[in-house]
Amino acid sequence: TTLFIGIAYFLKVIFFLFVLMAMYVFPVYISFDLNPIQAIKNSLLIGAANPLYTLFMLILSIIIITFLLLFPRLIPIISVSLLSYTWVFFADKAICRIQKYKTVTKIS
């Protein structure tokens, strides 16, 4: 049974990394001139470097999904747009923070 517990833990970690990548990959791909593989790697790094924004994104996503499950008639109207806006809002803040740090290190 310890093998199954280890596999379950491994799958949870892989799922968390996939969600982390999914939240940041499109804003990173749009903001930087990268190929898709580099965008995936950088989205994981940006998500790990900004845990507070990532946590806000996860919490707001859970709140939005819960709200949409309570009112299912709103799902076709605002589900994708509201989640996308939330993810892009916080991802843009994380990317701007990294770009600001990048310009500060170039100047000094």
- Cβ contacts of 75 within 8 Å, gap of 6 or more: 68
Q: Is pLDDT of 71 > 80?
A: yes
Q: Report DSSP letters for 51-79, one per residue.
A: HHHHHHHHHHHHHHHHHHHHSGGGHHHHH
* CA distance from start to end of the chain: 55
pTM: 0.80
Q: How far out from the chain centre does Cα 9 lie?
A: 21
User: Can you tell me the distance from the alpha carbon of 21 to that of 30, in angstroms, rounded to the nearest whole number?
Assistant: 14
Average pLDDT of the residues of the chain:
90
pLDDT tens readout for residues 40-61: 999 999 999 999 999 999 999 9
